[in-house]
A = this chain, B = another copy of it.
């Protein structure tokens, strides 16, 4: 046997487009790309008429986090990474999440243990919610040096948010130690004020939730963190940009030369605020923050994606069951929107939605699709060239993708531990048929292959100062 795996005759996708070639894999690594590749392999697949994609890299996922109060995210590593594999994603970056008053290092250690069940490869963002001296001075340098070179902070959400002073301290520490800081940027005070006003006015059902988190408050918070990034000269990445004015603020900073990057997520390209107006408590299924905006915002986001203002599409997978006292109904059915936990699952649907809405509808090319879902996130977070590309020497994380498949999304095929999908019933074009992690099948024929586990921790290098 010359190879462990040969995929023949596929259209191999890169950030520049696609070309027809056979792919030869040995030892988990891509070792050959060729026309008419000589040799044999233990597994040979004919990909004629198919795309072969680099496995998706999803750099914004909540997996098996510690519960916050009574709320528990339902996906452990086994569930979330099976769901990832089913969706064509082979690398996830999730959150090693410090709860206030606890040790970040201890959480990372525990997270490593829980992650043993992962079916795809993984890395950790360090979520800092309590930036004590111990955390910033004693723990952080070693944690970053150990390959966790990205930090997540919140500008909103009680229990998670940092004060502006703390934000600045974290940025300073990130700069000293070589980490990228990812930010949930929304104006907390504004959200609190509007929420109180809406609830007081009796506007408490899910459909009012978007009014509590206006895009102007998001844009303003982006401007704030961009100002900090500029003055402290530290790279910052904005999570889940939701619409036109937020993207414009990102661009404005980039034009000044600020080292600011940003992502959006499928939910901001598919839903609108109006979609939350569903009967009963159903709107809670679409409650995530920031909220979705308008069709005009969708097009503004696509334009920003094409122009490179936004360089990543992640899922912000945040799985909470709907009909569950540890999920959306933690405060009961019909609770006011400020008592409903935010977040939706999406790790399995990210690639399909973007392929369908983007590539199939002509908004982006296949090269841009690869860049947004795999290559650029891998590069930004220090995973490239190991991940995010079909290139000699890269891990053989590959997806056999049927570009012509048309189907209806149903929760049944997503393999997460949730009890619903926000995309239930949506018609999409394109589907992952087989997913390989380092040359080994992890998903095929609509089923996970083998048991959980097998994913590896990805230690990442530090960021340039």
The interface of chain A, by Cβ under 8 A from chain B, is 12, 14-17, 19-21, 24, 29, 31-39, 163-165, 167-169, 172, 187-190, 192-194, 197, 214, 216-217, 219-220, 223-224, 227-228, 230-231, 251, 254-255, 257, 303, 307-308, 375, 379, 384-385, 389, 391-394
Contact = CB atoms under 8 A, between A and B. Distances in A.
B165 A189 contact: yes
A167 B189 contact: yes
Copy count, this protein chain: 4
Contacts of A220: 223-224, 227
28 contacts: A14-B16, A16-B379, A16-B391, A20-B392, A21-B391, A32-B32, A32-B33, A32-B34, A32-B35, A32-B37, A33-B33, A33-B34, A34-B34, A34-B392, A35-B393, A38-B38, A164-B188, A167-B189, A168-B190, A169-B193, A187-B224, A190-B228, A190-B231, A194-B231, A216-B227, A217-B227, A220-B224, A257-B303
Given A164-B188, A219-B227, A230-B216, A391 B36 contact: no
Contacts of A33: 32-34, 392
B393 A19 contact: yes
B168 A193 contact: yes
Contacts of A216: 227, 230-231
Given A34-B392, A220-B223, A231-B217, A16 B385 contact: yes
A172 B187 contact: no
Contact of A14 (B189, B194, B254, B391): B391
A306 to B, nearest CB: 9
Q: Which 6 A-B pairs have the closest CB atoms?
A: A164-B189, A21-B392, A32-B34, A168-B193, A220-B227, A165-B189
B307 A254 contact: yes
Contact of A189 (B168, B189, B394): B168
A254 B254 CA distance: 15
A68 B435 CA distance: 62
Given A21-B392, A227-B216, A172 B190 contact: no
Given A21-B393, A38-B38, A14 B12 contact: no
A128 B14 CA distance: 37
B385 A19 contact: yes
Given A33-B33, A391-B14, A227 B19 contact: no
Nearest to A375: B16
A356 B263 CA distance: 32
A17 B187 contact: no
A461 to B, nearest CB: 14
* Residue from A31, A36, A230, A254 whose CB has the most chain B CB atoms within 10 Å: A31
Given A33-B33, A35-B31, A254-B307, A20 B231 contact: no
Contacts of A385: 16-17, 19
Nearest to A227: B220
